[in-house]
Structure 1
Amino acid sequence: MALTALELCSRALLRLGAQTIASFDEGTGEAEVAAGLYEGVRDALLSSHPWSFATGQSTLPRLSATPTADFRYAFQLPTGFLRALSAGAPGSGRGLEYRLLEDRLHCDAEQVTLTYIFRPAESAFPGFFAAALVARLSAEFCIPLTESTTRAQMLFGQAETELRQARRADSQQATPRAIQGFPLIQARG
């Protein structure tokens, strides 16, 4: 189900009973609302969960400029970066203390492997995520296009249900992670 941004927005508009769009800059109210809201809603939904299709790992390039305080090294974040999940030394995606400042990652390690959420192409969205995104877009488009707060509340409820189902489906695509470093388990010896 390879969809484009335009097709996702058109599906959301159909859910509202509005006219579909052929272009984001066709001059209609629907196109203006879709163009204004789509990217922000998409990025917020992608950032809200560690989706398997939008999670990546990358060894970050170290920058020549050093941080002003707290950490010794700065690293450039990857293109399409939305949210950090963890950072580790090479060969491990976790375990390092770090901080994100501006478009850089600061830490004391000389090399960093970052596990992060990135912005994939719409054609890479699995069906469960596309359905959740369409539901959320229709809720977001509702007030600007219909001025109905009651309908918008109902659509936001439906969008939350779709999002829960999408998270559940995505979470079942990997081996569950064991709890590591839990103090109560360590205290029991």
Structure 2
Amino acid sequence: MALNSIQLASQALIKIGAMPISSFDDGSAESTVAAALYATTRDALLSAHPWNFATAQRDLPRLEIGPVADYGCAFQLPVDFLRALSAGGGGRGRGIEYRIAENRLHADVPAITLTYIYRPVENAFPAFFDEALIARLAAEYCLPLTESTSRAEALHRLAEERVRTARLIDAQQDTPARFDDFTLVEVRG
């Protein structure tokens, strides 16, 4: 079942014994805390791992004004950009040196393809990520709503366990990474 942001936040609130919310601005203490912490917690969890379901590739538009130094070209980052994974060109998504500065990607190539983590809509999250996010939200919501440090610490430990499980499941959604260049083998001939 695909969950939206309110349902995800409500499930986290229920886990700490608080009342669920109907919106992020319904006037309750729960909605105030959820509104303040939801987006940053979601984006931090998405950015913390190269999730397959949140990975995209996009050819970036080149900007007319380039960087001041070090690189020759600047490119506009996507609106939904959270974190860069790699950059490439010529039909490849990696292999080009780059730097992200001033909310732009700088490189020495005229065209670039960026592989990056983006912010998908919540109802596109797989169930394993929903569980990890709900656990992380419950840990974040606990202290402001219950003022129980020991309970918040226990929830943070549980959240880390759920995130580890989600990472393992996500890792099984892709071909294992291989070495493209291993100089020690090449030296042996």
TM-score band, normalised by the shorter chain? Answer: over 0.9
Structure 1 stretch 63-72 or stretch 179-188: which is displaced more?
179-188
C-alpha separation in 2, matches of 1:156 and 1:52: 24
Q: Which residue of 1 aligns with 2:79?
A: 79
Moved segments of 4+, more than 6 Å: none
Q: Which residue of 2 aligns with 1:123?
A: 123
SS at match of 1:173: coil
Task: Give 1:119 shift.
Answer: 0.3
Q: Which residue of 2 aligns with 1:98?
A: 98
Please tell me whether the aligned partners of residues 59 and 90 of structure 1 are also in contact (alpha carbons under 8 angstroms).
no
Task: Give 1:172 shift.
Answer: 0.1
Structure 1 gap ranges (5+)? none
Report percent identity of matched pairs.
58
C-alpha separation in 2, matches of 1:47 and 1:165: 16
C-alpha separation in 1, matches of 2:148 and 2:123: 32
C-alpha separation in 2, matches of 1:84 and 1:188: 35
Task: Give 1:185 shift.
Answer: 2.9
Task: Give 1:103 shift.
Answer: 1.5
C-alpha separation in 2, matches of 1:90 and 1:2: 37
C-alpha separation in 2, matches of 1:79 and 1:185: 42
Task: Give 1:175 shift.
Answer: 1.0
Task: Give 1:79 shift.
Answer: 1.4
Q: Which residue of 2 aligns with 1:133?
A: 133
Q: Which residue of 2 aligns with 1:65?
A: 65
> What amino acid is the match of 1:84?
A
Task: Give 1:174 shift.
Answer: 1.1
SS at match of 1:75: strand
Q: Which residue of 2 aligns with 1:37?
A: 37
Task: Give 1:102 shift.
Answer: 1.7
1:155-179: CA deviation from partner (whole Å, max 9, x where unpaired): 0010000000000000101111212
SS at match of 1:63: coil
SS at match of 1:49: coil
Task: Give 1:66 shift.
Answer: 1.4
Q: Which residue of 2 aligns with 1:26?
A: 26
SS at match of 2:117: strand
> What amino acid is the match of 1:103?
N
Structure 2 gap ranges (5+)? none
1:81-104: CA deviation from partner (whole Å, max 9, x where unpaired): 000000001300010000001211
What is the number of equivalent residue pairs in this alignment?
Answer: 189
> What amino acid is the match of 1:137?
L
> What amino acid is the match of 1:149?
T
TM-score by length of 1: 0.98
Q: Indicate the RMSD between aligned Cα atoms, in angstroms.
A: 0.8
C-alpha separation in 2, matches of 1:117 and 1:109: 22
Q: Which residue of 2 aligns with 1:181?
A: 181
1:112-137: CA deviation from partner (whole Å, max 9, x where unpaired): 00000000000100000000000000
> What amino acid is the match of 1:127?
A
